[in-house]
Chain A
Amino acid sequence: MLQVEHLTIDFQDDKTEETLVHDFCLTMNPGEIIGLVGESGSGKTLTALSIAGLLKRSGMKKQGAIYFEDTDLLTCSRTDLRNLQGKEITMVFQEPMTSLNPLKKIGWQVEESLRIHTSLSKQERYQLAIESMKAVELKEAELIYHQYPHQLSGGMRQRIMIAAAMIMNPKLLIADEITTALDVTVQAQIIELLKKLNREKKTAILFISHDLSLVKRLCHRVLVMQQGNVVEENTSLEIFQNPKEEYTRQLIAAIPKFDKKRKELPEC
């Protein structure tokens, strides 16, 4: 479904040229969850943005090809790209606090892709939006539909973002550090939600994170990136049980462990 071939991204900053992503290859099958891990600045987000078609076409050199069902996203026309964006490929960002337009109602924002890609009536759009919001386990979807972003918590906003991304039933969802700004319990809920969406709607998910414990719980396959290079690629099980690269081993060692059973927080 998605095939990234030898993707190389160079930034041309005045005179010095810098390679940020080097020879990145990825093949993604429908319904697969792939984890992309690595430290800050390793090129995870840049890769994701180029797959989503958000990188500027000028100002940086891009080599290689990104095929999404036979369309090369790097060279196809803008109209073709726009037709894929939001419909087949969607993305959710890290920061739920700023990803929603503060002046528009939640419902309006969830519906926006329908408005762009379909010609459904207002009533049909409303139905789909409510359905999509219920699918991400938002209670009182009808109420939230008429609320503004500032009235929702971070976890709820991230659910809204996922609902908005999933409303067209895309084939690929790119989740760029979507759990980073959330607290641990909400993180766990969002992971479960992604699993459920993947199971029910067969959406492939490219899960970008630096939190390996989440990647372990969610992903089928894992790519480890370091300074723009893919250093290791394997199934989730293999990566965590016998990592081959030193860097991967270090990353896994950095996962906080709870060997000792600690006392739970008292209920208040």
Chain B
Amino acid sequence: MKVRQQFKRTISFNRIVGSLITGLMVLLIFVGIFYTPYDPDAMNAVEKLQGISIRHILGTDHLGRDLLSRIMEGSKTTFFVAFFTVLIGASIGMVLGALSGYLGGIFDRIIMGINDVMFAFPSILLALVMIALLGTGKIQVVIALGIAFVPSFTRIVRAEFIRIKNMDYIENAKLIGVKPLRIMFVHILPNCKTVLLSAIMIGFNNAVLAEAGMSFLGIGVQPPDASLGRMLSESQSYLFSSPMYIFFPGLAIILLVLGLSLLAESLSKDL
């Protein structure tokens, strides 16, 4: 009984902290859509690389742009890139996983073969190839990462489908003449939601990190668009002269990922 109570307390701790952090970041992003203290792209040659001050709460960057405004803008970019990446990855992965898990046989082998090949490459490398083919830009990053994220979702959904398709209630559905597509998406898919939800949250975190990583390497979002990864890479030359410039974008990435991880963990324990 005591163990159980303690267990419950850790869950609520994760959830509270997770939702607070995520709430803060979401607030920052949504406020950023309508209002930023300064124009995130407006340069000011006089106020370069300033620390924390009243005029610029988080200081300015090497071109005199307000850091808070740029973090708001950058978080927004990162958030939406991650969101659409997961949307693409999860929806394609879901359909492929459902088909290969349910149908099995040759189709399953082909899909899983392609999957394994894609798994063999690091996803960043895969995205890099895709960028080389598609060019750079926000939409291209979404497409590249989205495709790179498909295999993991395919695997998860496939495993769940294989587990559930042999349950009695699915046999029963077959028995009353339900067509295969309806069985897949109406009878089986809702039963995958627990696993799928955790996978989506973890996938979202990975997408945030992947986008930041790509932008850091200069193959992601292009200037003047703000992105957290891009800000990190721009600020590394000023690491010692203006440490706040690298600290805040890094902190934003950490908070975005940490908040969602905590939330995902508490949710997956709950479900």
Cα–Cα, bound, A61→B173 (Å): 24
Question: Could you tell me if B169 and A90 are in contact, using CB atoms closer than 8 angstroms?
Answer: no
Collect the chain A residues with CB atoms within 8 Å of residue B177's CB.
81-87, 113, 116-117
Smallest CB-CB separation from A100: which chain B residue? B169
What are 10 A-B contacts with C-beta separation under 8 Å? A85-B174, A85-B177, A86-B178, A91-B172, A99-B172, A101-B169, A103-B190, A113-B176, A116-B176, A117-B177
Collect the chain A residues with CB atoms within 8 Å of residue B171's CB.
54, 93
A230 at the interface (CB under 8 A from B): no
Q: How far is the CB of B168 from chain A (nearest CB, A)?
A: 4
Task: State the 3 A-B residue pairs at the shortest beta-carbon distance, nearest first.
Answer: A86-B176, A85-B177, A82-B177
Residue interface mask A30-59, B partner, CB < 8 A = 1? 000000000000000000000011100000
B91 at the interface (CB under 8 A from A): no
Question: Could you tell me if B168 and A99 are in contact, using CB atoms closer than 8 angstroms?
Answer: yes
Cα–Cα, bound, A81→B177 (Å): 8
Interface members, chain B 153-203 (any A CB < 8 Å) = 167-169, 171-179, 182, 187, 190-191, 193
Residue interface mask A115-127, B partner, CB < 8 A = 1? 0110000000000
Question: Could you tell me if B178 and A116 are in contact, using CB atoms closer than 8 angstroms?
Answer: yes
Cα–Cα, bound, A117→B177 (Å): 8
Count A/B pairs, Cβ under 8 Å: 60
Q: How far is the CB of A72 from chain B (nearest CB, A)?
A: 17
Residue interface mask A72-108, B partner, CB < 8 A = 1? 0000000001111111001101010011111110000
A211 at the interface (CB under 8 A from B): no
Question: Could you tell me if A54 and B175 are in contact, using CB atoms closer than 8 angstroms?
Answer: yes
Q: How far is the CB of B107 from chain A (nearest CB, A)?
A: 14
Collect the chain B residues with CB atoms within 8 Å of residue A54's CB.
171, 174-175
Question: Could you tell me if A91 and B175 are in contact, using CB atoms closer than 8 angstroms?
Answer: yes
Cα–Cα, bound, A99→B175 (Å): 12
Question: Could you tell me if A112 and B176 are in contact, using CB atoms closer than 8 angstroms?
Answer: yes
Chain A contributes a number of interface residues (CB within 8 A of B) equal to 29
Collect the chain A residues with CB atoms within 8 Å of residue B193's CB.
103
Further pairs besides A103-B190, A116-B179, A165-B176: 18, Cβ < 8 Å: A54-B174, A84-B177, A85-B175, A85-B177, A86-B175, A86-B178, A87-B177, A90-B176, A91-B172, A93-B171, A93-B172, A98-B167, A101-B173, A103-B191, A103-B193, A112-B173, A113-B176, A116-B177
Residue interface mask B202-224, A partner, CB < 8 A = 1? 00000000000000000000000
Q: Mark B residues whose CB is within 8 Å of A.
A: 167-169, 171-179, 182, 187, 190-191, 193
Collect the chain B residues with CB atoms within 8 Å of residue A91's CB.
172, 175
Q: How far is the CB of B173 from chain A (nearest CB, A)?
A: 7
Question: Could you tell me if A101 and B175 are in contact, using CB atoms closer than 8 angstroms?
Answer: no
Cα–Cα, bound, A82→B190 (Å): 23
Smallest CB-CB separation from B188: which chain A residue? A101
Smallest CB-CB separation from B192: which chain A residue? A103
Q: How far is the CB of A101 from chain B (nearest CB, A)?
A: 4
Residue from A54, A81, A83, A95 with most neighbouring chain B CB atoms (10 Å): A54
Collect the chain A residues with CB atoms within 8 Å of residue B179's CB.
82, 116
Smallest CB-CB separation from B193: which chain A residue? A103
Collect the chain B residues with CB atoms within 8 Å of residue A85's CB.
174-177
Collect the chain B residues with CB atoms within 8 Å of residue A112's CB.
173, 176, 178
Q: How far is the CB of A56 from chain B (nearest CB, A)?
A: 10
Collect the chain A residues with CB atoms within 8 Å of residue B173's CB.
101, 112
Question: Could you tell me if A52 and B175 are in contact, using CB atoms closer than 8 angstroms?
Answer: yes
Collect the chain A residues with CB atoms within 8 Å of residue B178's CB.
86, 112, 116
Question: Could you tell me if B175 and A104 are in contact, using CB atoms closer than 8 angstroms?
Answer: no
Residue interface mask A151-168, B partner, CB < 8 A = 1? 000000000010011000
Collect the chain A residues with CB atoms within 8 Å of residue B187's CB.
101, 104
Collect the chain B residues with CB atoms within 8 Å of residue A84's CB.
177
Q: How far is the CB of B109 from chain A (nearest CB, A)?
A: 16
Contact A102 B174, CB 8 Å, known A93-B168, A95-B168: no
Cα–Cα, bound, A17→B75 (Å): 63
Q: How far is the CB of A263 from chain B (nearest CB, A)?
A: 39
Partner of A98, one of B168, B190, B191: B168
Partner of A99, one of B169, B174, B182, B190: B169
Smallest CB-CB separation from A82: which chain B residue? B177
Interface members, chain A 146-202 (any B CB < 8 Å) = 161, 164-165
Q: How far is the CB of A53 from chain B (nearest CB, A)?
A: 8
Question: Could you tell me if B191 and A101 are in contact, using CB atoms closer than 8 angstroms?
Answer: yes
Q: How far is the CB of B41 from chain A (nearest CB, A)?
A: 48
Cα–Cα, bound, A161→B190 (Å): 21
Q: How far is the CB of A73 from chain B (nearest CB, A)?
A: 13
Collect the chain B residues with CB atoms within 8 Å of residue A113's CB.
176-177
Question: Could you tell me if B191 and A90 are in contact, using CB atoms closer than 8 angstroms?
Answer: no
Question: Could you tell me if A104 and B190 are in contact, using CB atoms closer than 8 angstroms?
Answer: yes
Collect the chain B residues with CB atoms within 8 Å of residue A116's CB.
176-179, 182
Q: How far is the CB of B143 from chain A (nearest CB, A)?
A: 33
Collect the chain B residues with CB atoms within 8 Å of residue A99's CB.
168-169, 172
Smallest CB-CB separation from B178: which chain A residue? A116
